[in-house]
């Protein structure tokens, strides 16, 4: 497999679409560091989501800026960053000041598919009730690498690596 260097790969999609699972495997395959966007939310955002309230643009602003700084700090090494990146304006913030090498990998699934995943996931603060709000806000980029979520993780990673190679 040809290695791909110096890319910033944002694995995006709604809560429960598989960003952390696929992002970790992808990072391993590429020998890139993996960062989970969830770990960069301020406590106040986690508290808000835990209380069943969706984040708004203002809530997400500092978080997206933090992820943009993270991306810039990893341009040389490359990185896989799991981040919902639901809207174009959020992606503009994520990639601000980075002229090339940014890719979005959109994990695409239906509401029902993702709901089933969330119902099985244990020990996560994100309530199921917020899933509809995530789909409501979701506006994926036209140039994303799109991967359907109803497949084995290893197959999904293979699809992504092939798309990056071409």
Ligand X SMILES: O=C(O)[C@H](O)[C@@H](O)[C@H](O)[C@H](O)COP(=O)(O)O
In the complex, what is the shortest distance from the CB of residue 165 to ligand X, in angstroms, rounded to a whole number? 27
**Residue 127 engages ligand ADP in binding (rule: CB under 6 A):** no
| Residue selected from 16, 78, 109, 140 as contacting ligand ADP according to rule CB under 6 A | 16
8 A C-beta contact, residue 122 and residue 28:
no
Distance separating the N- and C-terminal Cα atoms of the chain = 12
Q: 19 or 160, CB closer to ligand X?
A: 19
**Residue 120 engages ligand ADP in binding (rule: CB under 6 A):** yes
CA 41 distance to own-chain centroid: 13
**Residue 17 engages ligand ADP in binding (rule: CB under 6 A):** yes
Stretch 104-133 residues interacting with ligand X (CB under 6 A): 124, 126
| Residue selected from 30, 35, 40, 60 as contacting ligand X according to rule CB under 6 A | 60
Query: Counting beta carbons within 10 angstroms of the beta carbon of residue 9, is it exposed (0 to 12), middle (13 to 18) or buried (19 or more)?
Result: buried
| Residue selected from 45, 61, 153, 158 as contacting ligand ADP according to rule CB under 6 A | 153
Residue with the two structure tokens 């770990």: 39
With a CB cutoff of 8 Å and minimum separation 6, the contacts of 81 are 8, 9, 10, 11, 23, 34, 35, 37, 67, 70, 71
Q: What is the C-alpha separation between 91 and 140, in angstroms, rounded?
A: 10
Q: Which stretch binds ligand X (CB under 6 A): 15-23, 100-108, 144-152, 156-164?
A: 15-23
User: How many chain residues are in contact with ligand ADP, going by CB under 6 A?
Assistant: 16
Q: What is the C-alpha separation between 90 and 101, in angstroms, rounded?
A: 17
| Residue selected from 21, 68, 74, 84 as contacting ligand X according to rule CB under 6 A | 84
Applying CB under 6 A, the residues found at the interface with ligand X are 15-16, 19-20, 38, 41, 49, 55, 60, 84, 124, 126, 134
């Amino acid at each position: 497999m040809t290695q791909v260097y110096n890319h910033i790969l944002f694995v995006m999609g709604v809560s429960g679409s598989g960003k952390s699972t696929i992002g970790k495997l992808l990072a391993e395959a590429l020998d890139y560091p993996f960062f989970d966007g969830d770990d960069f939310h301020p406590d106040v955002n986690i508290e808000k989501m835990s209380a069943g309230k969706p984040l708004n643009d203002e809530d997400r602003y500092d978080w997206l800026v933090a992820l943009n700084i993270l991306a810039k700090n990893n341009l040389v090494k490359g990185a896989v960053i799991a981040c919902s990146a639901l809207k174009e304006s959020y992606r503009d913030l994520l990639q601000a000041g980075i002229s090339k090498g940014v890719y979005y990998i959109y994990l695409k699934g239906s509401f029902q598919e993702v709901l089933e995943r969330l119902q099985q996931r244990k020990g996560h603060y994100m309530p199921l009730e917020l899933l509809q709000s995530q789909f409501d806000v979701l506006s994926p980029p036209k140039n994303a690498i799109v991967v359907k979520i109803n497949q084995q993780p290893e197959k999904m990673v293979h699809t992504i690596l092939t798309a990056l190679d071409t």
